[in-house]
């Protein structure tokens, strides 16, 4: 049995993620803070948010490491919800 800082007691084999807490973190990072390119204010805000989350969870020491960045790099990611048939169709097209 694990005793978490929040006072929750959870048995080891039956630990379930707290989906609402995950959603709150996701919203804070993706919607409130938004884009987090290297060396930007958004990256700093995200690092501070994550440090706060670890501290709230009982982490003894959490540091933010800094480093020199040559340039701000940008990458874009997207997600798509595919049905099983559409996924198989897409894979088949790539294998042709």
Range of the domain at 22: 1-60
- Asked, for residue 83, whether it belongs to a domain, the answer is no
- Asked, for residue 3, whether it belongs to a domain, the answer is yes
- Asked, for residue 86, whether it belongs to a domain, the answer is no
Q: How many domains does the chain have?
A: 1
Strands 2-3 and 9-10: antiparallel
pTM, to two decimals? 0.55
- Asked, for residue 95, whether it belongs to a domain, the answer is no
Give, rounded to a whole angstrom, the gap between the first and last alpha carbons of the chain.
52
Q: Which two tokens stand for residue 36?
A: 């987090």
Q: Give the tens place of pLDDT for each residue, 14-70.
A: 678 889 999 999 999 999 999 988 888 999 999 999 999 988 888 878 888 887 776
Report, as an integer, the average pLDDT of 70-89. Answer: 57
Taking a C-beta distance cutoff of 8 angstroms, is the pair 18, 26 a contact?
A: no
- Asked, for residue 38, whether it belongs to a domain, the answer is yes
């Amino acid at each position: 049995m694990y005793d978490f800082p929040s006072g929750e007691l959870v048995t080891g084999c039956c630990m379930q993620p707290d989906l609402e807490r995950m959603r709150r973190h996701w919203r804070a990072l993706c919607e409130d803070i938004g884009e987090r390119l290297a060396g930007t204010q958004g990256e700093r805000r995200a690092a501070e948010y994550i440090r706060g989350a670890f501290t709230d969870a009982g982490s003894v020491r959490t540091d933010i490491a800094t480093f020199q960045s040559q340039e701000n790099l940008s990458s874009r990611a997207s997600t798509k919800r595919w049905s099983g048939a559409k996924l198989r169709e897409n894979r088949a097209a790539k294998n042709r």
